[in-house]
Amino acid sequence: MTFTRSFRLLFIWPLILISTLVIGQEQQQEANIHQIIQQHSAEIFDSLVEIRRNFHRNPEAAGEEVKTSAKIIEYLQNLGLEVHQNIGGNGVVGILKTNKKGKKIAWRADIDALKTDLPDVVSYESKNKGVRHICGHDIHASVALGIANVLSKIKDQLSGTIYFIFQPAEENWQGAKAMIDDGLFEIIDPEEIYALHLSPMPEGIIATRAKNLFADYKVIQLKFDKKEDASELTNYVKNLLENLQNVTNDSPFWDMQTLMDPELGLINPNTIFKDYVTLNSEVFINENEENLIVKVALSASDPDKLNSLLKQLKSEISHSEFSEKLIEIQFTEEIALVLNDKKLTEDAIQQISEVYGKQSSINLHGIIPDGRSDDFAYFQQKIPGVYFLMGGSNYQKGIISMPHSPNFNVDENCIKTGVQYFSSLIAEKLK
Ligand SMILES: [Zn+2]
Ligand SMILES: [Zn+2]
């Protein structure tokens, strides 16, 4: 499909430049365990940066993560975790058991890099020509290793089990499925699952929302019987599809800057990114002797809107003069949606805010339009969980962590932030 991923990439990863937000100084003297977490995170920070740069220098594309996996396995084994490897390709699972029975929680990190000729912007650039960590999975893997390290140090204060899933091949959407198909959930049986992705928000902030974080995306195709001139039918179908869109062409919706606008953007309860249906490609018309085939990509903030669309369009067409002509209407492409569990999301935002200050953890009200999703969605179809966006930008230093963008770069301090916030989140659940 030509107008899917590459088209959608234009829209990915909105700049949620909430630059005025700084982590609150009100980090309170909460339970002792979080101070220990912060201390351990600070202690291992330099070594995690080292590991991250090693991943960055030696990136491996989807399906080729052999050396990356080996490094992960070695690190987890040194921590004393039970390690399973070659799950769904180069997938790795580390199991951290405490001495007490309790909740079973999974943390997932994706580990693959991207094939790209865009030159690297850092001094520790990729040594693997044509492959680069331009989506931040080197950071994701390092954060996960850091969480495993910190939690293994305090495991005597915890109960239950923590599973660390290192997933290959996220970029081609094959890794999560492959791991599941290869028996991942026969090895582990988590009750909750979490993951993060870097975003252009400032370092020190994480954000998410209950339910879907990204718009739903589907390609719809209508096939008509066409005996003679089809110009009227073509106009009718074009209109029918174009009228589905409820955002006007002159709306600030289309300006990426609006996503970060305090009034209209994602963080405001009255955001304009709350209830929308848009056409995400032109309406493609294909004619032959027999048939007229019409195709368009759509996205919607509410997945139910697209789910009921086939029925709705069928009904509308059946009441038109072209009711006899419709042969077939179907979705030819759909993506699995990242769907966050409501309660787990609310709990997570609250727990992280309580330890790291109100500004550390943001509840988004809007849904990122036409954003790319993540195959973490397949895990969420099995286990309730939450997908977080983690800020990696530092505007003062000119660092913007917009994944897949040519100048993609990360303030490595976010590694420490991620290790702290999410170690605290998991510890809070297993205390
Ligand atoms: Zn990516
Ligand atoms: Zn990614």
Rounded to the nearest angstrom, the distance between the alpha carbon of 170 and the centre of ligand 2 is 7
Going 396 to 43 to 389 to 430, the CA torsion angle's sign is negative
The CA-atom distances, in angstroms, between 340 and each of 351, 358, 366, 384 are 16, 21, 14, 7
Q: What is the dihedral of CA 34, 38, 44, 48, to 10 degrees?
A: 100
Distance 138 CA to ligand 1 centre (A): 11
Q: For 14, which DSSP code?
A: -
Cα-to-centroid distance, 288 and ligand 1 (Å)? 38
Cα(403) to centroid(ligand 2), Å: 7
In whole numbers, what is the pLDDT of the chain averaged over residues? Answer: 91
Establish whether 404 is an annotated binding residue. yes
The pLDDT assigned to 372 comes to: 67
Which ligand is the nearest neighbour of the Cα of 115? 1
pLDDT number for residue 9: 36
Q: Evaluate whether 179 touches 87 at the Cβ level (below 8 Å).
A: yes
Separation between Cα atoms, residue 25 and residue 50, nearest integer Å:
28
Q: What whole-number percentage of the chain has pLDDT above 70?
A: 92
Could you give the CA distance from residue 31 to residue 33 in angstroms, rounded to a whole number?
A: 5
Q: What are phi and psi of 118, to 5 degrees?
A: -60, 125
Residue 23 has pLDDT above 80, yes or no: no
- Nearest ligand, measured from the Cα of 109: 2
Phi, psi of 251, rounded to the nearest 5 degrees? -70, 145
- Evaluate if residue 305 carries a pLDDT over 80: yes
Q: How far is the CA of 408 from the centre of ligand 1 (A)?
A: 11
The string of pLDDT tens digits covering residues 122-175 is: 999 999 999 999 999 999 999 999 999 999 999 999 999 999 999 999 999 999
- Distance of CA 342 from the midpoint of ligand 1 (Å): 25
C-alpha 265/C-alpha 346 separation (Å) is 20
* pLDDT at position 24: 41
> How many whole angstroms from 223 Cα to the centroid of ligand 1?
34
Q: Running DSSP on this structure, what letter comes out for residue 131?
A: E
Ligand with the closest atom to the CA of 376:
2
Whole-number Å distance between alpha carbons of 378 and 176: 6
Q: Give the pLDDT mean for 17-43.
A: 66
Using alpha carbons, list the distances in angstroms from residue 282 to 4, 7, 173, 279.
Answer: 12, 11, 25, 7
Q: Output 21 or 337, whichever has higher pLDDT.
A: 337
Q: How far is CA 307 from CA 29, 217, 280, 311, in A?
A: 48, 10, 16, 9
CB-hemisphere CA count at 13 Å for 58?
13
Q: What is the pLDDT of residue 428?
A: 96
Reported as a single tens digit per residue, the pLDDT across 257-272 is 788 788 999 989 999 9
Distance 336 CA to ligand 2 centre (A): 15
pLDDT: which is higher, 409 or 16 = 409
User: Around 356, how many Cα atoms within 13 Å sit in the side-chain half-sphere?
Assistant: 27
- Distance, CA of 28 to CA of 64 (rounded, Å): 44
Query: Whose CA is closest to 419, among 207, 206, 213?
Result: 206
State how far the Cα of 345 lies from the Cα of 274, in Å rounded to an integer. 18
CA of 290 to the centre of ligand 2 (A): 43
Let me know if 14 is exposed, middle or buried by CB neighbors in 10 A (0-12, 13-18, 19+): buried
**pLDDT band at residue 17 using 50, 70 and 90 as cut-offs:** very low
Task: Give mean pLDDT, residues 97-120.
Answer: 97
- Residue 120: phi, psi to the nearest 5? -70, 150
Distance between Cα 12 and ligand 2 center (Å): 11
Contact 404/396 with Cβ under 8 angstroms? no
Alpha-carbon distance of 173 to 171, in angstroms, equals 6
Q: Quote the tokens at residue 271.
A: 């955001």
**Domain ranges within the chain, ordered by starting residue:** 5-213+337-430, 216-334
CATH topology of domain 216-334: Alpha-Beta Plaits (3.30.70)
Question: Cα of 409 to ligand 1 centre, how many Å?
Answer: 13
For residue 2, the tally of other CB atoms under 10 A from its CB is 8
pLDDT at position 28 is 43
Supply the pLDDT for residue 18. 42
Ligand nearest, relative to CA of residue 389: 2
140 known member of a binding site: no
- 34 labeled part of a ligand binding site: no
| 363: confidence class by pLDDT, cuts 50, 70, 90 | very high
Q: What is the pLDDT of residues 240-259, one digit of tens each?
A: 999 999 999 999 999 877 88
The pLDDT of residue 30 is: 42
Domain 5-213+337-430 matching CATH 3.40.630.10: the answer reads: yes
Q: Which residues pair with 385 in a beta bridge?
A: 193
**How confident is the model over 317-322, as a mean pLDDT?**
95
- Bridge partners for 419 per DSSP: none
In the 8-state DSSP scheme, what is residue 394?
Answer: B
Task: Check whether 228 is labelled as a binding-site residue.
Answer: no
Q: What is the mean pLDDT of residues 16-28?
A: 41
Average pLDDT over every residue of 184-195 = 98
The answer to whether 324 is annotated as binding is: no
Q: Which two tokens stand for residue 364?
A: 């988004």
